[in-house]
Structures are given as C-alpha cells and as structure tokens.
Amino acid sequence: MAYSLRALADYLPTVGMPCTLHGDAERQVDGVATLEDAEPSEISFLANPKYEKALETTSAGAVIVSNDQPIPDRLTVLRAADPYAAITAVMVHIYGYRRHGKTEIGDRAVIHPSAVIGENANIHHGVTVSANVTIGKNVVLYPGVYIAEDSRLGDDCVLYPNVVIYDGCILGNRVSIHAGTVIGEDGLGYAPIGETWHKIPQIGIVEIGDDVEIGANCAIDRATLGRTVIAKGTKFSNLVTIGHGTKIGEHCMFVAQVGIAGSVNVGKHVTMAGKVGVAGHLTIGDNAQIGAMSGLMKDVPPGVAVLGSPATPIKNALRSFSLVERLPNLHKQVKQLEAQVEALQRAVDARADEKQ
C-alpha cells in the first residue's frame, strides 16, 4: 500500500513525533530503505552524520532528517526532532509487525485436559501444553513449543518454534520469545563436598514481565530459591544467558552473547553490548552502559559507561587502549635507550680505566 508524504506527515504527530514537510506533499511511497538502496517509491532517513554524503546521491523519494540538517535542494524531506524514532514509526505504519497465520488449535497439538486456553489461541501442530498451564488470549505457539506444568502465559504472547518453558514459569502480556530459547532450566547450582559436586535442587522459577522480547537460542535459568526476573520492556538479542536468581530491570537492552552469572541485580534501562560477561552477585545501576566484550568484576554505579576486561570507566579504558597501541614503539624506544645507556657506561668505564 502506498502513502502520500502528506499522509505520513499527518500521521507522525499522532504518535508524538511532530514534523514538517518540505517538498512534494503528494509524492507516494510504499516502502522504507537505506539512503544507498532506496528507490523513488521509498522513503529513507538520516540519523547518523557519518552517512550525510549519501544525501547527495540517494534516489529516495523522500528522506526523514533532523530539524537542522542541511539538505540538497532537490530532496523532499520530513524534518523531525528524532529521525530514527520517526522512521521507526513510519515502518510500523507501512509494514506493521509480523503477521501470524491463523491455525486455531492444530489437531496434532498435545494439550492436557487441565490446561486453560484463552480466546483466539493459535496453537500449531507439534505443540505440547502440560497440566495446569494457563494461556492467555491471542497467544501464538509455533511448532515444537513445549510448556511444562503450572506455567502461565499472559495475553498476546508469541513463542516461535522449539521454545521451551519449564515448569512454574510466568510470562506477562505481549512477550515474544524467538526460536530455540529455553526459559526456566536449572541454574548452575552445585555444592562442593570433598572433591565432588552435589546438585542443589533448583526450586525457584523465572518471571518475565510485559512487553519483553527475547531472541533466539537464549537461556534463562530458574532461581535456586525465589525468582529469576526479567522486568517489563526489556529486549534481548540472540544467545543471551541469564544465571539463576538474577534480576534484570525494566527496559534494558542486551546484545548478542551477553552472559550474566547468578544473583546479579541489574537496574533499569541498562545497555550491554555484545559479548559482555558479568560475574555473580554484582549490582549494576540504572542507565549504566557496558561496552562490547567487557568483563565486569565489580559493581557499576548508575549512569556510568564502562569498557574493557576488567571493565573500567570508558575514558580510562580508551586511554589504556591507546597505550597498548603504542607498546611496540615504546618497546623499540626502550631498546634504543638501553643500547645508549650501555654505550655510555662503556665510555665511562673506559675513561675510568685511563685515569688509573
């Protein structure tokens, strides 16, 4: 479906993004693309000045830019305070979210008689729903999903193929979990007795809040006692691992291969880039930012950005990295200085011998 730029300019303020239109208001667009790839029937955006030169060559029918961005005269633009947020709203308006084909309840799904299934459930073939499970309205369960005893799913949840929910776990409303993820498996709980490890029963659960999205092949351990918690609005990429008893605050963002040990407390709106590792029993404050491949060995205060392994405040880490880059030259200079010192020492020794 195509939309006029006038229609998009009228739509954006309705979702809290005032904008101004400059150029051909009647131009039609039916898709979104990058500045490099966009065609005249598509709209693009510029949010990062790094790509500013692409404005000169783009074929996009229109571009969303910031309010103060210089533009070529030929371009039709929508100006908004936050172009990235505005293009996101446009993408939702044009494309919507992934649509799930309606199958109702497949005849090869296995559903225990005691399970409670909400209205408009879409349960595919090969799904297993165990005893005393409660599933909310409009839930979509793709093939291979397994939901163990006493678990609860809220309304509008989507579980993609081969997601496993262990017993007793709780999912809020509008939770999306991508293929291959496991929720509520046993945590790494073992007691050392002599030279052997004795398994500690993991009798807690996992609780996931509303509007959480979890990527593919993640693993969230159940608590030994109590709950492992992923609070509302948090988003995980793929291959994220959360240890038992850890509590993740609201609206966090974890990129792929983040690994958090047990009993960690993570505040609200914390961002962790790829391959971050967090030792157990730490506290990470609200709005902290953890750079890629960082290793956390101590608490991080609220609002602090850290980087490196072990992680330090980002300015200190960048200074350390710059020193590492200079090490080969510093090593060469030290060798030269050592040679000069040796030469001077030989000269001093020779002069002393002459005086004797």
What letters, b where the CB count within 10 A reaches 16 and e where it falls short, cover 271-299? Answer: bbbebbbbeeebebbbbbbbbeebebeee
The answer as to whether 156 is a domain residue is yes
Domain of residue 259: give its range: 110-313
Closest CA to 293 of 312, 307, 313: 307
> Is the same domain home to 152 and 281?
yes
> Is the same domain home to 351 and 292?
no
Instruction: Cis check for the bond before 72: say yes or no (omega within 30 of 0).
Output: no
Contact 83/20 with Cβ under 8 angstroms? no
Examine the fold and report which residue of 67, 95, 123 is the final residue of a domain before the chain moves on: 95
Q: Report pLDDT for 87.
A: 96
Q: Which of 244, 251, 281, 331 is catalytic?
A: 244
The answer as to whether 52 is a domain residue is yes
Q: Report pLDDT for 163.
A: 98
- β-strand 190-193 against 289-290: which pairing, if any? unpaired
Distances in whole angstroms, Cα of residue 230 to Cα of each of 104, 254, 298: 29, 12, 21
Tokens 């955006």, residue?
Answer: 45
> Is the same domain home to 261 and 140?
yes
> Is the same domain home to 321 and 291?
no
The answer as to whether 102 is a domain residue is no
> Is the same domain home to 163 and 67?
no
> Is the same domain home to 322 and 264?
no
What letters, b where the CB count within 10 A reaches 16 and e where it falls short, cover 87-120? Answer: bebbeebbeeeeeeeebebbeebebeeebebbee
Q: Report pLDDT for 202.
A: 96
CATH of the domain at 232: 2.160.10.10
Q: Report pLDDT for 305.
A: 97
Task: For 180-239, give the DSSP string.
Answer: T-EEEEPP--EEEETTEEEEPP---EEEE-TT-EE-TT-EEEPPSSSEEEE-TT-EE-SS
CATH of the domain at 61: 3.40.1390.10
The predicted-structure confidence for 139-177, as pLDDT tens digits, reads as follows 999 999 999 999 999 999 999 999 999 999 999 999 999
Distances in whole angstroms, Cα of residue 70 to Cα of each of 55, 59, 77, 78: 10, 17, 11, 12
The answer as to whether 274 is a domain residue is yes
> Is the same domain home to 8 and 137?
no
> Is the same domain home to 11 and 133?
no
124 as an active site residue: the answer is no
Adjacent-strand bridge partners of 256? none
User: Would you say the pTM of this structure is higher than 0.95?
Assistant: no
> Is the same domain home to 119 and 218?
yes
The answer as to whether 133 is a domain residue is yes
Adjacent-strand bridge partners of 170? 152, 207
> Is the same domain home to 133 and 39?
no
Q: Report pLDDT for 102.
A: 74
Number of domains in the chain: 3
Q: Note down pLDDT in tens along the chain; length 356 residues.
A: 899 999 999 999 999 999 999 999 999 999 999 999 999 999 999 999 899 999 999 999 999 999 999 999 999 999 999 999 999 999 999 998 877 777 688 889 999 999 999 999 999 999 999 999 999 999 999 999 999 999 999 999 999 999 999 999 999 999 999 999 999 999 999 999 999 999 999 999 999 999 999 999 999 999 999 999 999 999 999 999 999 999 999 999 999 999 999 999 999 999 999 999 999 999 999 999 999 999 999 999 999 999 999 999 988 888 888 888 888 888 889 999 998 999 898 888 888 777 76
Separation between Cα atoms, residue 345 and residue 245, nearest integer Å: 64
The answer as to whether 100 is a domain residue is no
